[in-house]
Structure 1
Amino acid sequence: MIRCLIVDDEPIAQKIIKGYLEDTPGVELYGTCDNALEAMEVLEKHHIDLLFLDIEMPKLSGLGFLKTLKNPPETIITTAYREFAVEGFELSVLDYLLKPYSFERFLMAINKAKKKIESAHQSKNSNIAQERAYTYFKSDRKNVKVHYDEIVMIEGLSNYVKIHLEENGVLVVYERLAHLEKTLPPDKFARIHKSYIIALEKIKTYGIDSVEIAGTELSIGNTYREQFFSKIKTLHP
C-alpha cells in the first residue's frame, strides 16, 4: 500500500485529490497539509511514499519546500502554473499535473508512482535480505546466531563439526557435515573434501589440488574437485 500526503492550500484541490484516491486501489491517504511547513513536520515523524504537492502556497512554495528535503518522497506536482514544469522536473518530480486534470490523467500519474515505489521497495528488501543473511546452529544446548559471512570453513569430525568463524573462534555443533552441506547457501559455500566445507569468499589462493584459507592449506578431494571448480568458474567467469 502506497502512503500519500496532500500538500495544498486550496480546500477544493484537496477534496478532488481525496476523491480520486478513494477510487484508486493500492493507495492510502495519510493526511492533508495546508502549507509546506506543516508537511515538513509530518515528514520528520512519519514515512510517506508519495506527495501531491501544490506550488503556490503561503510562506514557502512547493518547489522551495522540495529543495529543503534531503531525501524527498516521490512527488507529483499539482498546479495551475505551466511555467514551473522545467524546474519541477529538474528536482526529479515524478509527474506534473496541470489543474484542472481528469481522473484518467491522475491515474496515469499514480500508476507511474506505483511502479517506481514498488520497485524501490522490492530492491531495498532484497538487498537487506542478502547483506547479512544468517542461520542458527545448536551448540552447547543453545541456538547460536551466525551470519553466513562470518564463517571461514567447517571441519567435519565424526558426528559433530567445528565451525571456524572469522572473529569468534570455533563453534562446536553436533551435526553431520553432509547435512550442513545441504542447508548452507550453495553460492557461498563449497565442499572440497570429505572433512571440509569452505566459504568461497574467504579463499586466499587455490590450485588444482588445494586451497589456502585463513592461513591453512586444505586438500581438494577428487570427489569434490569438479563441483568446486564449477563454482569458482561461476564466481570468476
Structure 2
Amino acid sequence: MMTCIVIDDEPLARSLLAQHIADVPFLEHRGSFKNALLAADFLSKNQVDVLFLDIQMPKLTGIDFLKSLQHPPKVIFTTAYREYAVESYELQAHDYLLKPITFERFFTAVSRLQVATPKVIETPIPETATTPEHIFVHVNKKHIKVILEDVTYIESIKDYLKIHTTKETLVIKERISHFIEQLPNPPFIRVHRSYIVNRDHITAFTQQDIEIGDIEIPIGGTYKEEVLNILKAP
C-alpha cells in the first residue's frame, strides 16, 4: 500500500485523480490540496509515499515546491504543458502525465512506481546481506544478464539507454530515472541528467567532469555538490 496526496489548483483535476487513486487497490488517498502551500503544511506533520503534483499553480509552482522539499516523496507530475518534461526528469520525477489523464496512463505510471518502491522490511537486515551482482535487461526480445561490476557508465539518449560495460555496449528502451532504481548506490552514482557512472571505474575527476579511461563525462549542476562529496569521501 502506498499513501499519496494530490496537489492541483483545478477542482476537476483533483476530483479525477482522486477517483483514479480510489480505483487502484495499492494506493491510499490521504488528501487533495488546491495549492502547494497547503500541501507543505500537511507534509510538515505527515509522511506520504507519492505526490501527484501539478506544475502551473498560483503563488508556488509544482517544480519550485518540489525543489523546496529536503526529503521529497516519489513524485508524478500532472500537467497540461509538455515543455516542463525535461526539467521534471532532472528532478528525478518518476513520471510526467499530460492532462487529460486517462486511467490507463495513470495505472501504467503507478505500476512502475510500485515496482520501484522498496518493500518495507520489518526484520533486521543481516550483516552479511549483499548488493545484487547482476540484473537482466531487455534487448531484442531477449533478457540479457548484465554483471554490475562490469558496467562502467550508462548514457541516456531520449527514451533509450546505452549501458557501457568492459565487454560490450547494450541499448535498451528505458528512462534513466526508472533504471537507476535498480542499481545499488554505491557504487552507481547519477552525475548528470543523462549519465550514471560506476564509481569503481572512475580514473580521475575535476569540478566539471569525470574520466573513465579516455571517456569524459560531465557533472551536471543539479548533481555537482552531492557527486563531489561522494567522490571526495574516503
Specify the SS of the correspondent of 2:32.
strand
CA drift of 1:44 comes to: 1.1
Specify the SS of the correspondent of 2:55.
coil
Alpha-carbon distance in 1 for matches of 2:53, 2:109: 13
Structure 1: 5+ residue stretches without partners? 132-237
Name the counterpart of 1:60: 60
Specify the SS of the correspondent of 1:121.
coil
CA drift of 1:21 comes to: 1.1
Determine whether 1:77 maps to 2:77: yes
Correspondences of 1:210-221 after superposition (within 5 Å) = none
Correspondences of 1:72-151 after superposition (within 5 Å) = 72-117=72-117, 119=118, 121-122=120-121, 125=122, 128-130=124-126
Alpha-carbon distance in 2 for matches of 1:48, 1:86: 25
Name the counterpart of 1:34: 34
Alpha-carbon distance in 2 for matches of 1:96, 1:84: 9
**Residue type of the partner of 1:59?**
K
Cα-to-partner distance string for 1:152-205 (whole Å, 9 max, x where unaligned): xxxxxxxxxxxxxxxxxxxxxxxxxxxxxxxxxxxxxxxxxxxxxxxxxxxxxx
**Residue type of the partner of 2:19?**
G
Name the counterpart of 1:51: 51
Specify the SS of the correspondent of 1:92.
coil
CA drift of 1:6 comes to: 0.3
- Alpha-carbon distance change, 56 to 108 in structure 1, aligned in 2, over 3 angstroms: same
Alpha-carbon distance in 2 for matches of 1:109, 1:121: 21
Structure 2: 5+ residue stretches without partners? 128-234
Residue correspondences, number: 127
Structure showing the higher helix proportion among its residues: 1
Alpha-carbon distance in 1 for matches of 2:66, 2:19: 25
Name the counterpart of 1:212: none
After TM superposition, what 4+ stretches of structure 1 lie above 3 angstroms from structure 2?
128-131
Specify the SS of the correspondent of 1:9.
coil
Alpha-carbon distance in 1 for matches of 2:116, 2:3: 14
**Residue type of the partner of 2:120?**
H
Cα-to-partner distance string for 1:115-141 (whole Å, 9 max, x where unaligned): 122x2534xx56x5447xxxxxxxxxx
- State the structure with more CA Rg: 1
Name the counterpart of 2:137: none
Alpha-carbon distance in 2 for matches of 1:66, 1:38: 14
